């Protein structure tokens, strides 16, 4: 029986949330919806444990992360299956998520042991003879709100830096996929974490909003839609706010690119996990003199993408997270076609009962179409012809999002131009926009958010510097 983990205790609640297996529609689990009293206990215990947890040594915090690593590694298969079932993620990709989570924990262990301030130059003017340096101290308890598409690893991107700096954290999972994180809490209960240092609970939007507004919690770390993220930021008061809110990732192909390699990588990067990845490729811009060859190769690779049951190891494109989202993307594609877009592949529902949409390639799209202007979060990609590389960069920037972009080029002048002019948090050369390893500084600009994930970088965001000046 699943329970919320609050102040070192597992607590049930009368109200339940039903969570369904995304391919079969069968009931997977009942999740207790934490009461207002339980939410208050979580916040209170976080605030009270701060004075204890912030004094933990680096060795002790690294030791806790190692305990979590060991516990998770022994249950990797169990967590892979739960992730696949509740999020609709292909099992091979769910296995990859668990492996990434383990790597994330190892990265966090290294970051904890290396985390430090910096020496501050003082030997000038009236600072002559003085030595100065900074130490970093945790800002305070954290509220982490996590999404459905990576129910384990994106939660760890909030948990690991919190443990790393000694900041208590409340983790609240998404309603579409809360089971993974509540099961993970059972591992946390077996570690040396002090009571209240980590609380894991699912609750209503109303009570979640009250936590956002509660001054006892000093940091909000949110991953989800930009609409919700900006609203929460407006409610967060004096909190430090970190937002990772998705994107509308573009890839650029120039004349020097390896078209075979680009087509294969981009077909996978467009349709993996039904496109439900913040950095899934959504738009591809190809310079005109290689467009025909690229699109032929790309459509050939797209035809190889297998759709179906997430527990089939060969499946790349499985269930979307809900029937509502399936109907949404079907409507968006139909609207785009009415407005002049052409379907080169797919463009239809494959299995309505299992919420599977066909891998879809569109062209002749325009910026005012939803499939261009919004984050599709579905297995749909646009491929457009452009005159030259500069026009491709301009088109890639024509969005309110700015998370990551991919550039396939072997021309140094194009690579440098992309580096200097693409309005994104990361430029990935000769790979898909969806490239990520968990230690890198990951995050975006514009409506894609603020702050960075990656253990060391998030630890910087979770702390404040204190300057120490010594007179010789």
Smallest Cα–Cα separation from 461: which of 60, 194, 144?
144
CA separation (Å) from 86 to 26, 164, 329, 396, 412?
10, 29, 20, 33, 44
Rounded Cα distance between 411 and 425, Å, is: 21
Helix (H, G, I), strand (E, B), or coil: what is residue 94? Answer: helix
Backbone dihedral region for residue 287 (phi beyond 0: left; psi -120 to 50: alpha; all else: beta)? beta
> Which parts of 357-431 fold into alpha helices (H)?
370-373, 389-396, 412-421
Rounded Cα distance between 470 and 333, Å, is: 65
Q: What are phi and psi of 116, to 5 degrees?
A: -160, 175
Is 88 within 8 Å of 271 (Cβ atoms)? Answer: no
Is 203 within 8 Å of 39 (Cβ atoms)? Answer: yes
Rounded Cα distance between 433 and 270, Å, is: 10
The token pair at 161 is 């830096």
Cβ neighbours for 90, distance < 8 A, ≥ 6 positions apart: 84, 272, 273, 310, 312, 315, 316, 317, 318
Helix (H) or strand (E) holding 113: helix 91-114
Q: Choosing from 86, 97, 244, 301, which is the catalytic residue?
A: 244
Helix (H, G, I), strand (E, B), or coil: what is residue 470? Answer: strand
Q: Choosing from 278, 375, 384, 453, which is the catalytic residue?
A: 278
Rounded Cα distance between 93 and 87, Å, is: 11
Q: Is 301 a catalytic residue?
A: no
Smallest Cα–Cα separation from 303: which of 264, 249, 277?
264
Strands 401-402 and 426-429, by their bridges, are unpaired
Q: Is 244 a catalytic residue?
A: yes
Q: What are phi and psi of 221, to 5 degrees?
A: -120, 110
Rounded Cα distance between 219 and 238, Å, is: 9
The secondary structure of residue 307, as a DSSP letter, is B
The token pair at 383 is 């491929």
Helix (H) or strand (E) holding 234: helix 226-235
Instruction: Point out the residues that are catalytic.
Output: 244, 278
């Amino acid at each position: 029986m699943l329970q919320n983990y609050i102040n070192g205790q597992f607590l049930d609640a009368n109200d339940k949330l039903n969570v369904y297996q995304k391919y079969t529609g069968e009931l997977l689990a009942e999740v207790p919806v934490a009461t207002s009293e339980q939410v208050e206990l979580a916040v209170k215990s976080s605030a009270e444990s701060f004075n204890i947890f912030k004094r933990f040594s680096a060795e002790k915090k690294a030791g806790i992360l190692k305990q979590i690593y060991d516990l998770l590694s022994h249950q990797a298969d169990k967590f892979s299956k739960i992730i696949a079932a509740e999020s609709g993620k292909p099992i091979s990709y769910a296995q990859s998520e668990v492996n990434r989570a383990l790597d994330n924990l190892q990265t966090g262990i290294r970051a904890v042991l290396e985390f430090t301030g910096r020496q501050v130059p003082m030997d000038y003017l009236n600072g002559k003879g003085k030595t100065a340096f900074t130490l970093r101290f945790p800002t305070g308890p954290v509220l982490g709100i996590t999404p459905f598409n990576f129910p384990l690893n994106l939660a760890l991107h909030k948990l690991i830096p919190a443990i790393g700096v000694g900041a208590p954290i409340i983790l609240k999972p998404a309603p579409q996929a809360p089971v993974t994180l509540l099961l993970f809490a059972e591992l946390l209960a077996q570690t040396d974490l002090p009571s209240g240092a980590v609380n894991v609970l699912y609750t209503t939007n109303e009570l979640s909003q009250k936590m956002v507004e509660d001054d006892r919690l000093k940091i909000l770390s949110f991953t989800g839609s930009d609409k919700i993220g900006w609203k929460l930021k407006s409610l967060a008061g004096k909190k430090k706010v970190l937002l990772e809110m998705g994107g509308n990732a573009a890839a650029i192909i120039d004349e020097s690119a390896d078209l075979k390699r680009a087509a294969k990588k981009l077909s996978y990067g467009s349709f993996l996990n039904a496109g439900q990845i913040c950095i899934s490729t959504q738009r591809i811009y190809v310079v005109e003199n290689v467009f025909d060859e690229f699109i032929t190769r790309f459509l050939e690779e797209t035809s190889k993408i297998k759709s179906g049951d997430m527990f089939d190891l060969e499946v790349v494109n499985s269930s979307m997270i809900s029937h509502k989202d399936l109907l949404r993307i079907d409507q968006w594609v139909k609207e785009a076609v009415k407005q002049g877009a052409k379907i080169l592949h797919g463009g239809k529902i494959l299995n309505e009962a299992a919420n599977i949409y066909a891998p879809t390639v569109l062209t002749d799209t325009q910026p005012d179409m939803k499939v261009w202007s919004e984050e599709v979060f579905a297995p749909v990609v646009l491929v457009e012809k452009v005159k030259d590389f500069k026009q491709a960069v301009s088109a890639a920037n024509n969005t309110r999002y700015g998370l990551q972009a991919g550039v396939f080029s072997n021309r140094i002048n194009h690579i440098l131009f992309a580096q200097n002019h693409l309005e994104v948090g990361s430029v990935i050369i000769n790979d898909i926009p969806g490239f990520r390893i968990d230690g890198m500084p990951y995050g975006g600009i514009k409506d894609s958010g603020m702050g960075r994930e990656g253990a060391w970088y998030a630890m910087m965001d979770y702390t404040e510097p204190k300057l120490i000046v010594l007179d010789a």
